[in-house]
Structure 1
């Protein structure tokens, strides 16, 4: 089954800055190219950090927090980062000091996982040399869910059912607003489990409704402990 890769959704025309790039030029690069973040790279093009629009806003946020905000800036990691970024005049002072990266051959699932785990909105895409060749944003991943229902259904039929089910006509596949419904009878319980999980991996699928039945339950029995 085809798995969608980062190279299929990434932006290849990457706007990057160097550590010494002044604040105003960083802001100009973001606004001029309508991007939410830019990688900070070294002389060879390796990412050393990221600067987002939120980092640029630290200068204004720092001035508007009041007395309680001063405490927040001192006792929390995000607060201390806001205070540091507020004093920054170059990309080196504004950036996060750890760029979470992916490669063009990573799956979109891997990219989504890293964004959620590290709470970031953009991932630089690096090649085998570690050089930035693209960037992936949350919008790129969310855009996948805008696929039409018809091609989603076709992918389920050709990439999931074909080759797994002896008679694909035994399973009815409907798709509405990205929600796939599988209904019918298959021979093995393991087949039903596969169809559901594989359908979830199709680009654009929001959810899968499982209405499948099976003739033989070939799942391994769950043995309860004696004590």
Structure 2
């Protein structure tokens, strides 16, 4: 199975981020532009939080707020669990499953964000690995 570092390196190099000072409308535009369901929120270069479709639904729409006037920092998830390149994919899956997270920011050794992984990334990797094993077994059986 790929390491977390390999998985991050295989993804797009452009990380979709917003600032806590950006409006929710701007964050939604960025999400649409990158076709993602969650954004890293950076204060300078440091992780400030995450903003997701779920945050938007629960903290803007259901509370009757207006996305043009609401700041990301007012509704983002600021207590974020992150992982590092030293985590295994299995560890990331365990965190996601236990905490019911769909996305995890990935930090380098200095605490700077280098990427984001999603539950979809994890599932694709597991399917790919299982297909590889199936192919190996079929090859072994037929030879």
TM superposition score category, shorter chain reference: 0.7 to 0.9
The Cα of 1:61 is off from its aligned counterpart by: 2.7
Cα–Cα, structure 1 residues 116 and 149, in superposed 2: closer, same or farther, change >3 Å?
Answer: closer
Task: Give the SS at the match of 1:39.
Answer: strand
Does the aligned pair in 2 maintain the 1:87–1:93 contact within 8 Å? no
Aligned length: 132
Cα–Cα, structure 1 residues 96 and 152, in superposed 2: closer, same or farther, change >3 Å?
Answer: same
User: Higher relative CO (CA 8 A, sep ≥ 6), structure 1 or 2?
Assistant: 2
Does the aligned pair in 2 maintain the 1:124–1:135 contact within 8 Å? yes
The Cα of 1:147 is off from its aligned counterpart by: 2.2
The whole-number CA distance in structure 1 between the counterparts of 2:78 and 2:47 is 10
Task: Report the equivalent of 2:117.
Answer: 136
Cα–Cα, structure 1 residues 148 and 113, in superposed 2: closer, same or farther, change >3 Å?
Answer: closer
Unaligned regions of 5+ residues in structure 2, if any? 139-143
The whole-number CA distance in structure 2 between the counterparts of 1:46 and 1:62 is 29
Does the aligned pair in 1 maintain the 2:38–2:53 contact within 8 Å? yes
Does the aligned pair in 1 maintain the 2:2–2:125 contact within 8 Å? no
Task: Report the equivalent of 1:18.
Answer: 19
Task: Give the SS at the match of 2:84.
Answer: coil
The Cα of 1:153 is off from its aligned counterpart by: 4.5
**Larger Rg, first or second structure (1 or 2):** 1
Q: What are the equivalent positions in structure 2 for 1:95-134 lying under 5 Å apart?
A: 95-134=76-115
Residue among 88, 93, 101 paired with 2:74: 93
The Cα of 1:110 is off from its aligned counterpart by: 1.0
Task: Report the equivalent of 1:147.
Answer: 128
Task: Report the equivalent of 1:29.
Answer: 30
Q: Pairwise CA RMSD of aligned residues?
A: 2.3
Unaligned regions of 5+ residues in structure 1, if any? 64-85, 156-173, 176-227
The whole-number CA distance in structure 2 between the counterparts of 1:149 and 1:47 is 34
